[in-house]
Structure 1
Amino acid sequence: MLRVSSLFLLPVIFAVGLAQAAEPNIPVYGNWQGEFTSPEWQNRTIRAQIVGESWDSYRAVLYVGAKEGEEQRVEVKGKTQKNVTHFEGQVDLGADLGGVFTVSGHVTKGDFKGALKGEGGYGIFELKRVELKSPTLGMKPPEGAIVLLNDSSELSREQKRDIFHTNFHISPRWDVMEDGSIQMVGSSVITKQEFGDAQIHIEFRTPYMPNERGQARGNSGVYVQGRYEIQVLDSFADKPADNLCGGIYQIATPLVEACLPPLEWQTYDITFYTPRFDADGKKIKNAEITIVHNGKTIHDTLSLPRATPGGVSTREALTGPFLLQDHGDYPRFRNFWVKPLN
């Protein structure tokens, strides 16, 4: 049974049922939260992020810390046999938390139970799988916004299809899915309209591809103005990088980790200001962007010195379209709206 939790330190709206498409009957990958049950470890915290590395192998990233203190990030490997996933490995929590421990645990039916054993003590933990949600998931467009993708349950699929076709240059292979989202199908899509300074909201979901690694796990990108790529990728539990989810390709690494697992909807809330030019067309100020990923600020008033590769042009301009990048994978997008600021 799921329970409501928070996305790190941020409130969530509510918990929902686990996604079941193209995944094990009892999902092992995802966010796990709970506590140490050993009395002498009550002053410590523990949570986990489990990543699929094949259909029966996993990597558990454990975050252990003192309450109100900094967490230590450690990893152990696991494998599923007869519907039980066993994890075991040695980790170093650092001198302040007792040094080296052996981690042993198992996941079954939504429970992750185990222990850390070492010279620094013996801590028993119990975690539950939780589905966390961005606080801006499902955000309604404000007055003056232009809706590019609309997944409202109040609209028919045909109405959603009309909105998509009206706003994007698309190939015949593209269509709106039953849930109102669109899925990458062999080509990028570009908006017909161009935009300048803007407030932007878009939701995306990466596929579950446990046999793939790195850039092959649900790769795509949101190109603001068709020139500045914000990476879309299954980077759940990975340390931030410019070529992973939320990164500005070849320019900036996210300030914090904010990714959710594959098959769970995520949000980008973006404030963008175009570069400025003088009367002769010379750039006098860089483009500027702030990005909030699942409620966490990952780029704060970031100056963009140049366009990123792979977009409509590397030449900067006052206006440009939005491009959703095809990279041979199958991420989905929905609830995409833009409010011009000037």
Structure 2
Amino acid sequence: MPVHQNRLLLLVASLSLAWSRWCEPALAETPAQAWHGEYAGSLPDPTGRPQWTGLQVVPQGKGEYLAVELAGGLPGNRWNMRDRQEAVGRAEGTPTLVLASPVRKYEVDGWQVRVTDLQGNPVGTLRRYFRSSQTLGSPPPAGAIVLFSGGPTSELKNAKITPEGLLQVGCETTRAYRDFCLHVEFRTPLMPEARSQARGNSGVYLQGRYEVQILDSFGLVSQNNDCGSLYKQRPPLL
């Protein structure tokens, strides 16, 4: 799969890139994207105390949705990395999506989530958040080697670039590296009906044998074959 304006920065072994599916630019929001995303706000914990809480809403295809409530906040932003509660629901042709877990109901309108208990008593409201990585678009630091920035490069062998400036599958670095810091930016396609390794699967290979997994793992329990993992070796840290 081509990647938009990837900057791969090696500071100090060989690396190769592999993609399998084209990722079209987002021109208009689809029905699956209307509720898809992250929400956060204060909800009571099991003892009744206010607790910052995250919620991820994930389209599953054919009108089905999964929501994951995360105690403490969103991944990378106060989630305790342990407590999660899943809810399921189905689009019914209305502006709102209703999901239910064993203890709560969630009414999603795309901008906020109204949370109630199973009897319909208000519990709280979560607001939608649009997050991006703090390192997204970072300029190359002093001394960095830019492997690819949207145009021809002598740092990659067999590099194939689309007219739009996207890097295609099958290239590898012309030089070998030892210790390094690697900055990669990528974009995965939204494939709601696909599951597990079929959701935008790709990867970056280090030394021709260790794969850093690229995948749409949003809302899942991170395993050693999900996005950001060292494939079949270590799960991602977040």
Give TM-score scaled by structure 2 length: 0.74
User: Which residue of structure 2 aligns with residue 24 of structure 1?
Assistant: 30
User: Which residue of structure 1 aligns with residue 137 of structure 2?
Assistant: 138
Of 60, 72, 75, 1:53 maps to: 60
Contact 1:247 1:253 in 2 (8 A): yes
CA 1:114–1:33 in structure 2 vs 1: closer, same or farther (change >3 Å)? same
User: Which residue of structure 1 aligns with residue 109 of structure 2?
Assistant: 108
Deviations 1:130-155 (A, max 9, x none): 111112112221222111122xxxxx
Provide structure 1 residue ranges, at least 5 long, that are not aligned to the other structure: 1-18, 92-100, 151-159, 258-342
User: Which residue of structure 2 aligns with residue 318 of structure 1?
Assistant: none
Deviation at 1:84, TM superposition (A): 2.8
The amino acid across from 1:59 in the alignment is L
CA 1:146–1:251 in structure 2 vs 1: closer, same or farther (change >3 Å)? same
Q: How do residues 1-342 of structure 1 correspond to structure 2 at under 5 angstroms?
A: 20-21=26-27, 23-24=29-30, 27-36=34-43, 43-54=50-61, 56-64=63-71, 70=80, 72-91=83-102, 101=103, 103-117=104-118, 123-150=122-149, 160-163=150-153, 166-170=154-158, 174-175=161-162, 177=164, 180-182=165-167, 184=168, 187-254=169-236, 256-257=237-238
Provide structure 2 residue ranges, at least 5 long, that are not aligned to the other structure: 1-24
Task: Look at both structures and tell me which one has the larger radius of gyration over its CA atoms.
Answer: 1
**SS of corresponding position for 2:197:** helix
**SS of corresponding position for 2:66:** strand
CA distance in 1: counterparts of 2:108 and 2:220, whole angstroms: 21
CA 1:32–1:176 in structure 2 vs 1: closer, same or farther (change >3 Å)? farther
Deviations 1:15-35 (A, max 9, x none): xxxx84475256211111122
**SS of corresponding position for 1:50:** strand
CA distance in 2: counterparts of 1:149 and 1:83, whole angstroms: 45
Contact 1:41 1:123 in 2 (8 A): no
Contact 2:217 2:226 in 1 (8 A): yes
**SS of corresponding position for 1:248:** coil
CA distance in 2: counterparts of 1:127 and 1:146, whole angstroms: 42
CA 1:44–1:123 in structure 2 vs 1: closer, same or farther (change >3 Å)? farther
CA distance in 2: counterparts of 1:31 and 1:250, whole angstroms: 28
Q: Considering only aligned residues, what root-mean-square deviation do their CA atoms show, in Å?
A: 3.0
CA 1:65–1:249 in structure 2 vs 1: closer, same or farther (change >3 Å)? closer
Deviation at 1:233, TM superposition (A): 0.5
Contact 1:31 1:131 in 2 (8 A): yes
Contact 2:71 2:79 in 1 (8 A): no
CA distance in 2: counterparts of 1:147 and 1:110, whole angstroms: 38
CA 1:204–1:75 in structure 2 vs 1: closer, same or farther (change >3 Å)? same
CA distance in 2: counterparts of 1:69 and 1:238, whole angstroms: 14
CA 1:251–1:126 in structure 2 vs 1: closer, same or farther (change >3 Å)? same
User: Which residue of structure 2 aligns with residue 330 of structure 1?
Assistant: none
**SS of corresponding position for 1:31:** strand
Deviation at 1:193, TM superposition (A): 2.5
**SS of corresponding position for 1:199:** coil
**Sequence identity of aligned pairs in percent?**
32
CA 1:104–1:59 in structure 2 vs 1: closer, same or farther (change >3 Å)? same
CA 1:136–1:171 in structure 2 vs 1: closer, same or farther (change >3 Å)? closer
CA 1:181–1:30 in structure 2 vs 1: closer, same or farther (change >3 Å)? farther
The amino acid across from 1:145 in the alignment is A
CA distance in 1: counterparts of 2:72 and 2:230, whole angstroms: 30
Give TM-score scaled by structure 1 length: 0.53
Give the number of the structure whose residues are more often strand, by fraction.
1
